Structure 1
C-alpha cells in the first residue's frame, strides 16, 4: 500500500566485503547506491543475490564496509516459514492493537491500551484492505496459517510487511511456488509500489518487466540498466555486439604486433650479420668492433623490447575484451529418435480420477508432437496428475494409457543418484548406449571432460538441473512424451534459457505443468489446458481470463 516514504530513501553499500566461515569470498569491496523506485536484481546462481539482500536486511554482517538504509526496511526471504498455529492477525503483527481497540471499545480506558494503539486506530481496516489487495480478502483475521496454501502464506507475509509501511522493501524470489492467481496479485502489489526503494530478486520475467531499472550482479560488481527485463536484454545485446567488435579488433592487433615483433627480430639479426661482415672486411680494430657489436646489440634489444611491450599490451587488451564477452552457453542436442509423427496417438485419459486434487473425471487425447501447458491453481492436482500418468500413483477411477515411451522430470529433480557421477546417472537411464555416445551427448549439455565425472551430490543448482535434464532427455528408449513439473522453479535465467534451447531440439510431445507464462510461450505451447474438476481446453489469450473466472467462482 502506498505511503509517504522517508525523503531520500535509498540503500547504499560502501566497500562491502563478505566471506563465508569456510573462507569463500562472496563480495570484496562492493559499492553501489540503490535509488528510489522498483529495482530488479538479477544474476546467475551463486552470484550472491540472496546473500546481498540478507546483508542489506542486517541478517548477515559484513566482514568490512557498511550498509546504509534511508528509512525503515522490510525483507521477504526466499525460504519462508510461518508457524501453522498462528492466527492471521498474529502473522500480520496486529493482534496486540486489535486487542487494545476491543478493550477501549468496551469501556476500558487504561493508558496502556492507548499506548499500544498509538496513531493506528484504523489498523483493522488497513489490514483487511491490504489482504484484499493481495487476493486474501476472504481469509478473515482469526483464521490460522495452517488453513492456508503455501502461496497464501507468502502473500500473507507480504501483507504483514506492507502494513509496516517500509521505506525499503526487499523481496527474494517472491513468485517461487505461487500459482498464476497469487503471481498476479504480487505483480499488482509491485505495480502499485510508490513508497521508496523496492528491490526484488527474481527469475520471473513478467515480474521483472514491471521494474524501473535492472541491477545486474556479476563478478562481484553491480551494473545498472534502465527499464525492465526487455530493455535490459536489448542493452545487453548491444553491449555484447560492441564487445565482440572490440575483441575482434584486439585479436587483430595481437596478430599485427606478433608479425611486427617477428619482423623486428629478423631486422635485428640481419643488421648484426651485416655489421659482422663489414667489420671483417675492414679489419677494424678489436676494440672498435666490440663497441659496434655492443651498440648493435643494445639497439636490437631496444627494438625487440619495444615490440615485445607492444605485443604484451595488445594481449592484455585482448584479455580485457574477452572478459566482456559472456559465455552463457546454450544446450544444443540432436534428439531425432524422440520424433512423433503428426496424428499418432501419444496419450489417452478416460474418466480419470487421481487420488488427490480436484479432478473428478478427466478425459484427454494427445496426438503427435503436441506441446501442452497444464495450468491451474495450487492444490488443483497438477503434480498428482503427472505422477498418475507415469504409473507412480494408482487412480481412484478411470484409466490413463501412454502409447509411446515417456519420461517425467519432477520439481525436486530427484531422478539423480547422489553417489553416481553425471555420466553414470545418464548411463543408468540409457542402458546399452555406449560410453562414447553418452559423453558426446553430455558435452552438448555442457558437461565436458572431467565435469561428466562429478558426483551428482556435488553439483551446483544449475549443474544439477542440467544433469537431471540430460538423464531424462537422453534416456533409452528415447522419450517421445516428456512431462515436466514446474521446470523453471528455482532456476536462474541462464538455466531457463538452457532449458528452452534444449526443448527446441526435442521432437516429441511435451506436457508441462507450470505458472511461468513467458517460458510456456517461448517453448511453443500449442494447447492450453486448465485443471479443475475437469480438464478444460483454452487458449494462450484466454488462459488468464479463464483462471480469473475460476478464482471468482
Structure 2
C-alpha cells in the first residue's frame, strides 16, 4: 500500500508546488510555514486537485478520506447521533469516546468548535482507512484532547496516515517526517534519522539535539527519556 508522487508540479498564479516521493504505510508528519502548500499537497494526495504535470499513483488504496481543518465543513446530519451513524459507526460508543454521551440528540452546530472537532475525529477513528489525511487535526483542541488524539493516532489501524500540522507542543509518535518549503515538498526520511534534518522541529526537540541527545521519536516523552 502506497501513494507515489511522480515529479508532480502544481501552480496557481505566483504559487508553485513540486514533489517527488512515496507515502508508505505508517504515520507521516508534514510541516511547513503557513501558505507553504501543505493543504494543496493534501488535496493532491486525495485527487481533489490534479497536478499540472506528473502523476499521483495510489497502490492498494481502497478507502481514503480527508479531514479539513474546519470541522463544520463535514457536518451532514441534524443530530449528533445521526452524524455519527452517517460514518457507519455506533453512535453511543463514539459519543462516549469523545465525551458527548449526553449530547447525542443535539444539533452538531450547537456544539462548541472544540466539541465538534472531537466528534468529527472520533467518527473518523471509528473505522479503518487505507489512506487517512488530516489537515490541522490539533486545531480547536485543548492540551488534554490533543493527547487523546495522539493516542488515537498511535493506536489506529489506518494503512497510511498523513498529518499536516503547525502543532509544536503535543505530537504523536510518527514514522516519517516531511517538510514543505520554497515551493517543494520533500520527505526527510524515517524517524529517528530524519529528526536531525527537521528545520521545523519543536523547541523542546531542538534543545535536546543541541545537547547531543538523540530521542527515538518526536514526542516530548521521547525527549525526556533521551535526556
Which structure has the larger Rg over C-alpha atoms?
1
Match of 1:443 in 2: none
Match of 1:316 in 2: none
**If the length of structure 2 is used for normalisation, what is the TM-score?**
0.74
Q: Deviations over 1:415-459 (max 9, x none)?
A: xxxxxxxxxxxxxxxxxxxxxxxxxxxxxxxxxxxxxxxxxxxxx
Distance across 2 between alignment mates of 1:84 and 1:75: 15
8 A Cα contact 2:84 2:94, kept in partner: no
Give 1:225 shift. Answer: 2.9
Match of 2:104 in 1: 141
Counting only pairs closer than 5 Å after superposition, residues 10-49 of structure 1 correspond to structure 2 as 10-20=2-12, 23-28=13-18, 30-49=19-38
RMSD: 2.9
Instruction: Select the structure that is richer in strand.
Output: 2
Q: Deviations over 1:297-348 (max 9, x none)?
A: xxxxxxxxxxxxxxxxxxxxxxxxxxxxx8xxxxxxxxxxxxxxxxxxxxxx
Give 1:141 shift. Answer: 3.4
Distance across 2 between alignment mates of 1:146 and 1:131: 15
Distance across 2 between alignment mates of 1:203 and 1:47: 11
Tell me the matched-pair count. 200
SS of 1:92's equivalent in the other structure is helix
Instruction: Give 5+ residue unaligned stretches, structure 1.
Output: 1-7, 96-119, 238-325, 327-492, 498-517, 519-553
Alpha-carbon distance change, 163 to 153 in structure 1, aligned in 2, over 3 angstroms: same
Match of 1:71 in 2: 62
Give 1:163 shift. Answer: 3.7
Runs of 4+ in 1 over 6 A off after TM superposition: none
8 A Cα contact 2:143 2:170, kept in partner: no
**Equivalent position to 1:236, from 197, 203, 208:** 197
8 A Cα contact 1:40 1:208, kept in partner: no
Instruction: Give 5+ residue unaligned stretches, structure 2.
Output: 204-219, 221-227
Instruction: Select the structure that is richer in helix.
Output: 1
**Equivalent position to 2:80, from 74, 88, 91:** 88
8 A Cα contact 2:95 2:119, kept in partner: yes
Give 1:143 shift. Answer: 2.3
Alpha-carbon distance change, 44 to 232 in structure 1, aligned in 2, over 3 angstroms: farther
Q: Deviations over 1:274-303 (max 9, x none)?
A: xxxxxxxxxxxxxxxxxxxxxxxxxxxxxx
Distance across 2 between alignment mates of 1:147 and 1:221: 38
Alpha-carbon distance change, 94 to 223 in structure 1, aligned in 2, over 3 angstroms: closer
**If the length of structure 1 is used for normalisation, what is the TM-score?**
0.33
Alpha-carbon distance change, 175 to 64 in structure 1, aligned in 2, over 3 angstroms: same
Match of 2:125 in 1: 162
Alpha-carbon distance change, 180 to 73 in structure 1, aligned in 2, over 3 angstroms: same
Higher relative contact order (CA 8 A, sep 6+): 2
